[in-house]
Amino acid sequence: MTDLSNFRFDVGHARKKGAAGMRRFDDGRMWVDQEYASELERVGLASFDAVMNNASGRLLRSLPDRENWRLEVTRGGRRHVLFLKKHRVRSIAERVRSWIGARGGATAGRVEADNVAALKQAGIDTMRVVAFGEQASGGLSQSFFMTEELRGFAQLDHFVRRRFVPAAERTRRDRELEALAASVADVASRFHAAGFNHRDFYCCHFFIQELASRRFAIRLIDLQRVERRLWLRGRWIVKDLAQLAYSAPRERVGNTLRMAFIKRYLGVDRLSPADKRFVRRVLRRQSAMQRRLGPHP
């Protein structure tokens, strides 16, 4: 995984990693997209403390260690919606680092910004990062991650339910739905081939925009838990695909389409014995999720 310690302090290195236009703020505690810098300064969000203490906008979710916010700003005469994650984590590890004067560990905001850069470098489209920042001291790790709304996109499961009729009502093959499944399979295949696993590879983290007949733009989001492994990857790939299969709308995505998806993902026209064993592993994991969690909403 990219070392973001250089990414934060060396703009030239950041450009190489796909983060051109990021500008250092607040003594290196945060970085801001150059195009948003003046607007964040105008609304008083040009420092790490200001972002972490900000209470404007709409609070979407509050957990003991994380808050999710929806903000609105104006850039270029247009209203833009931003999404902000704030993280505050106390841990023994951070306390020990503070006692011995060691550098803080990777924060959640830093990890997600790092993952966006790494995925873009691998040719996988995701979110536009507006700003991110971090600070660790006294056993408390604080960070934030701010992104631009994916305007015109919808999460995959919602898009499928709105755009396509249930399988039981179809009188012929739905070529557009097949094209969408193939596009999602291509993204999943590239993602895993590049060494990544997501750990939350549900339909709600694929965002879709229909461009033309049988053409779709896809963005992969929620990258905080993404990992890049060199060894022992099979279990995590199986988990990713089981999560995706479990969360696909069953009334619209039937077995024929699921089989077409896995063939496209594997890049084969016919499943080999090894491919079939792999598919059975995915199905067993999906069935276990179904028993434990019940039907996906």
pLDDT for the residue numbered 55: 93
List the alpha helices (DSSP H) in the chain.
Answer: 4-9, 11-16, 37-42, 48-53, 92-100, 108-121, 156-163, 175-193, 234-247, 255-266, 273-293
Same domain for 11 and 141, yes or no, is yes
* Residue 268 phi, psi dihedral angles, 5° rounding: -130, 155
Q: Using CA atoms, how far apart are residues 183 and 186, in angstroms rounded to an integer?
A: 5
Final residue of a structural domain among 94, 126, 148: 148
pLDDT for the residue numbered 94: 56
pLDDT for the residue numbered 99: 54
Count of the separate structural domains present in the chain: 2
Same domain for 205 and 264, yes or no, is yes
- The CATH number of residue 189's host domain is 1.10.510.10
Same domain for 116 and 170, yes or no, is no
SS3 34: helix
Same domain for 120 and 17, yes or no, is yes
Same domain for 144 and 8, yes or no, is yes
Give the DSSP letter string of 221-289. Answer: ---TT-EE-SSS-HHHHHHHHHHHHHHS-TTTS-HHHHHHHHHHHHT-SS--HHHHHHHHHHHHHHHHH
Same domain for 9 and 143, yes or no, is yes
**Token reading at 255:** 């077995």
Q: Using CA atoms, how far apart are residues 164 and 179, in angstroms rounded to an integer?
A: 12
Same domain for 70 and 129, yes or no, is yes
Same domain for 126 and 176, yes or no, is no
Same domain for 93 and 187, yes or no, is no
Helix axis angle for 255-266 and 234-247, nearest 10°, is: 150
Average pLDDT score, the chain = 89
pLDDT for the residue numbered 96: 56
Final residue of a structural domain among 132, 148, 164: 148
Same domain for 173 and 205, yes or no, is yes
Contact by Cβ (8 Å): 75, 37: no
Beta bridge partners of 62: 67
Q: Using CA atoms, how far apart are residues 18 and 15, in angstroms rounded to an integer?
A: 5
The one-letter code for the residue type at 136 is: A
- Strands, sheet with 215-220, edge to edge from the N-terminal-most edge strand: 154-155, 206-212, 215-220
pLDDT for the residue numbered 97: 54
Same domain for 134 and 18, yes or no, is yes
Same domain for 191 and 106, yes or no, is no
pLDDT for the residue numbered 6: 31
Q: Using CA atoms, how far apart are residues 24 and 295, in angstroms rounded to an integer?
A: 46
Give me the residues of the chain with pLDDT under 70, please: 1-20, 91-105
Q: Using CA atoms, how far apart are residues 192 and 212, in angstroms rounded to an integer?
A: 27
Domain that holds residue 29: 4-148
Final residue of a structural domain among 148, 175, 203: 148
The one-letter code for the residue type at 121 is: Q
Burial 34-65 (b: 16+ CB within 10 A, else e): eebbebbeeeebbbbebbbebeeeeeeeeeee
Q: Smallest Cα–Cα separation from 142: which of 151, 129, 132, 153?
A: 132
